[in-house]
Amino acid sequence: MKKLLLVSILVIFGAIKSYASHAMSAEITYTHISGDNYLVQLIVYNDCASTLTSGASQNMTFSSASCGINFDQSMPLISETEVSQLCDEDIGSSTCNGGTEPGTLEFVYQDTITLPPCVDWILHWDLN
């Protein structure tokens, strides 16, 4: 009886289609400009077939325990580019353009941030 119940549950839940709404990957980089100023960049890669939308900005958190600083910064969207890796142009178009081939969008957010000289800065981003 337990096996039948387990198999029934697996069949029922295995037949339900799921739709992901999360980013494929993301990266945070920073470049020292001068003094305490840094160019901070957040790059988010998203599957075009997902339900995730980019938004005009993304919030990042900057924190330093040694300096007792913690603040959020809105990072504006700088560019949105399709970066799909289609093997052959004859295959068709990606899901970014209404096609059936897997498609990927790259969202670039960046801003110049002033960070006081602390030794333990942590830059953090959550998908919102």
Best CA proximity match to 22, nearest among 120, 128, 122: 128
Positive/negative CA dihedral, 34, 41, 109, 115: negative
DSSP state of 11: H
| pLDDT tens per residue across span 87-108 | 766 566 777 777 777 788 899 9
Global pTM value: 0.74
Inter-residue contact 1 to 7 (CB < 8 Å): no
- Tell me how far CA of residue 46 lies from CA of 5, 7, 52, 98, in angstroms: 38, 34, 8, 15
Inter-residue contact 67 to 46 (CB < 8 Å): no
CA distance 7 to 74: 48
| pLDDT tens per residue across span 48-86 | 877 666 678 999 999 999 999 999 999 999 998 887 777
